[in-house]
Amino acid sequence: MSADLAPLITSFSIIFLAELGDKTQICTIMLSSKSSARSVFFGAMAAFFIVDGLSALLGGELLYMLPRNVIGLAAGLTFIVLGIASLIRRKDSRDACKDVSTSFFRAFSLIALMELGDKTQISSILLTAQFGKPMLVLAGIMLAFTIITGMSVFLGHRILRIMPEKFLRIGAAATFILLGLIQTIEMLFGINVPP
């Protein structure tokens, strides 16, 4: 591996492998199964850039200013509430989720909350510290997020075509509640629950 490309290749590899099957990937799949695929993709990518990309560029100063447990607990409770709301909501929920601005904001806010203090954000900071080349690290992590998010959105969008909305709604609600419970348990008890 060329020394010049080591930060890019290493960052890409670490983030790509860390995100496979991660909570944010599951969230992206579920969001894109009910919403505009394009809006979910761009909302998730904006969140990844703001949280992970800026962490790589700024070296993590923002991470240490934010209370990780409070943010994580807020994210967990948000997911639980969204899951319960999905179960209660009427049939017209699919039309509301297709609204481009709502889909973008929902994806952005949920992914950003999940990424704050996540292993990929911390990895971004550590990779920048290790290599001292924030732009190459940023390029590597954003390339990894682009591929993972693209795969997730494609998969989520395809689920919509083969699964009846009732099952999709129940599955999405259960997934959000489960993700919320995992996040809440992790923050309250300081343990790492596998996704």
As for how many domains the chain has, the answer is 1
Cα–Cα distance measured from residue 113 to residue 24, given in angstroms and rounded to the nearest whole number: 10
- Quick one: average pLDDT of 16-40? 85
What is the C-alpha to C-alpha distance for residues 146 and 58, in angstroms, rounded to an integer?
21
Whether 176 is covered by a domain: the verdict is yes
| pLDDT value of residue 44 | 95
Residue 195 in domain: no
Identity of the amino acid at 118: D
Q: Which domain holds residue 172?
A: 6-189
What count of Cα atoms within 13 Å lies in the side-chain half-sphere of residue 125? 16
Task: Say how far apart CA 2 and CA 131 lie, in whole Å.
Answer: 13
Does 194 map to a domain? no
- Residue 49, helix vs strand vs coil: helix
Q: How far is CA 148 from the centre of its chain?
A: 10
Per-residue pLDDT band at 34 (split at 50, 70, 90): confident
User: Other C-beta atoms within 10 Å of 185: how many?
Assistant: 14
Residue 182 has pLDDT above 90, yes or no: no
Query: Residue 94 has what pLDDT?
Result: 44
Q: Is 23's pLDDT higher than 60?
A: yes
